[in-house]
Amino acid sequence: MIKVKVPATSANMGPGFDSIGMAVKLYNEFAFDEANDGLNFNGIPKEFCNEDNIIYKAMKYCFDKAGYRFKGLTISVLNQHIPISRGLGSSSSCIIGGLVGANEIIKGKFSKDELLEMAVEIEGHPDNVAPALFGGIVVAIDEDNKTLYNKIEIKDKVKFVTIIPDFRLSTEEARKVLPKQISRADGIYNIGRAALMFSCFFTDRYDLIRSACNDALHQNYRKQLIPHFDEVYNKCYELGALGCYLSGAGPTIMAIIDNGADGFSNSIKQYLKNQNIKWEVFELQADNKGAVVIKGDC
């Protein structure tokens, strides 16, 4: 049996639309085994126990690339801590888990770079799958039908607080509210801030993260789909967050705080409780490893 652990991811990171993402220590864990015949699932809702399952499709994609033929598979979800359709890369964790698991079955035929290419072909863009695979903060782009990326590790001077609403928001729905064209001014606005975001983590200029988090391409449109967004977002800054942004397509709000800011999470939890906003709050460290094959027991 092969076991794979994949971290949650937070895409866009403010201005880095479809290009910047990071990994945090919240995980889904999977197990894979070849079977004599058929397709078997464990720990997965019945409606997803079929050939349309995203984990299976990723595995088959990898097997097909390798020309590998299998009689059957057993796919198990051992732990599912990444919430579904909340902007924390749940589907990307399934894709990466399936690809890494399949690659282990075929004795590591493909490199991580090749697995990334497959993941992007399946997902359509790299901002979640890249950090899920590599960890850290990853900037990734498509150039001549090839994914180019650069990763930096996140230092332990900051941590991340996920503020997770009690409803799902599909990426498809969140994309429908975006404009089909943007102005030159908005493009320039985001280019500068996306570059600043990456440089802040590279040079430890966390005092600049608030400005780096600002976005003109998606957040102002998508927040209309999220009740209480503005009040919670503003409260994060009031409580001392270094930066704050809509994670992925939403609805999760991600706050970046100083590693010594021990009271932030309790304060935002109390605020939500006082406002009768039933959202979950998790304080997380960065994950710099990405997807890993687990040796021994989970």
* Residue 88, annotated as binding a ligand: yes
* Residue 184, annotated as binding a ligand: no
* Residue 93, annotated as binding a ligand: yes
CA angle centred on 94, ends 294 and 243, rounded to 5°? 95
Both structure tokens of 53 = 């399952």
* Residue 179, annotated as binding a ligand: no
* Residue 199, annotated as binding a ligand: no
* Residue 86, annotated as binding a ligand: yes
* Residue 84, annotated as binding a ligand: yes
* Residue 85, annotated as binding a ligand: yes
* Residue 89, annotated as binding a ligand: yes
* Residue 290, annotated as binding a ligand: no
Which amino acid is located at 193 in the chain? R
- Helices 112-123 and 54-66, packing angle to 10 deg: 130
* Residue 14, annotated as binding a ligand: no
CB-based burial of residue 176 (10 Å sphere; 0-12 exposed, 13-18 middle, 19+ buried)?
Answer: exposed
- Name the residue among 16, 18, 25 with its Cα closest to residue 198: 16
Residues belonging to the binding site are 83-93
Residues belonging to the binding site for ATP are 83-93
